[in-house]
Amino acid sequence: MPSDFTAVPILDYTLIGTDKPLFLSQLRHALIHVGFMYLQNSPVETKSLVEQIPRLFALPQESKDALTMRNSQHFLGYTSFGKEFTKGARDMREQFDFATPHENRWTPGAPEYLKHWGRSQWPSEDEVPGFRAVVEKYLAAVERLSYEFTQWISEALLLPTDALAPFFDTAQHMQHRAKLVKYPALRENFESDQGVGPHYDGGFLTFLLQASEHRGLQVQNFAGQWIDVPPLPNSFVVNIGKGLETLTRGVTLATCHRVVSPAAGSSARYSVPFFQNIAQGVVLGDAAATLDFPYEILAERDARGTPKTDAVNHTDYDKAPSGHVALIGRIKSHPDVAEKHYPTLFKTLFPDGLPAHVSAY
Binding footprint of ligand AKG on the chain (CB under 6 A): 179, 181, 196, 201, 208, 210, 217, 257, 259, 271, 273
- For residues 77 and 301, which CB has a smaller minimum distance to ligand AKG in the complex? 77
Residues in contact with Fe ion by CB under 5 A are 201
Side by side, which strands form the sheet with 94-99? 10-12, 36-40, 235-240, 205-210, 269-275, 177-183, 94-99, 77-79
Work out what residue 186 binds among Fe ion, ligand AKG, none; the CB cut-off runs from 5 to 8 Å by kind. Answer: none
Name which of 99 and 217 has its Cβ closer to ligand AKG: 217
Pairing outcome for strands 10-12 and 36-40: parallel
User: Could you give the C-alpha distances from 39 to 162, 179, 229, 242, in angstroms and in order?
Assistant: 21, 19, 12, 20
Q: What is the widest separation between alpha-carbon atoms in the chain? A: 59
Q: Which candidate, 211, 209, 229, 210, places its Cα nearest to that of 219?
A: 229
Sign of CA dihedral 320, 325, 327, 332: positive
Compare residues 34 and 156 and give the one whose CB is closer to ligand AKG: 34
Least Å from the CB of residue 271 to Fe ion: 10
CA angle at 146 for the pair 119 and 52, rounded to the nearest 5°: 55
> What's the closest the beta carbon of residue 194 comes to ligand AKG, in angstroms?
12
The item of ligand AKG, Fe ion, none sharing an interface with residue 271, based on CB under 5 to 8 Å by kind, is ligand AKG
CA distance 12 to 237: 12
Q: Kindly tell me which of 36 and 346 has the beta carbon lying closer to ligand AKG.
A: 36
Identify what 59 binds: ligand AKG, Fe ion, none; CB under 5 to 8 Å per kind: none
Distance CA 48, CA 101 (A): 19
Q: Of all residues in this chain, which one has the CB nearest to Fe ion in the complex?
A: 201
In this complex, which beta carbon is closest to Fe ion, that of residue 94 or of residue 201?
Answer: 201
- 181 interacts with, out of Fe ion, ligand AKG, none, CB within 5 to 8 A per kind: ligand AKG
33 binds, among ligand AKG, Fe ion, none (CB under 5 to 8 A by kind): none
Minimal CB distance residue for ligand AKG? 271
Minimum distance of ligand AKG from residue 257's CB (angstroms): 5
Helices of type H across the chain? 15-18, 20-33, 47-57, 61-65, 131-156, 242-247, 284-288, 295-304, 322-333, 335-341, 343-349
Closest approach of Cβ 203 to ligand AKG, in Å? 11
With CB under 5 to 8 Å by kind, the binding choice for 219 among Fe ion, ligand AKG, none is none
Q: How far is the CB of 242 from Fe ion (least distance, A)?
A: 11
256: phi then psi, degrees, rounded to nearest 5? -70, 140
- Report the partner that residue 92 touches, choosing among ligand AKG, Fe ion, none (CB closer than 5 to 8 A by kind): none
Q: Is 77 or 273 the residue whose CB approaches ligand AKG more closely? A: 273
Which residues fall within 8 angstroms of residue 228, CB to CB, at 6 or more apart?
Answer: 215, 217, 218
Q: What are phi and psi of 353, to 5 degrees?
A: 90, -175
Question: Which residue number, 231 or 321, has a Cβ lying nearer to ligand AKG?
Answer: 231
Shortest spacing between CB 165 and Fe ion, in angstroms: 25
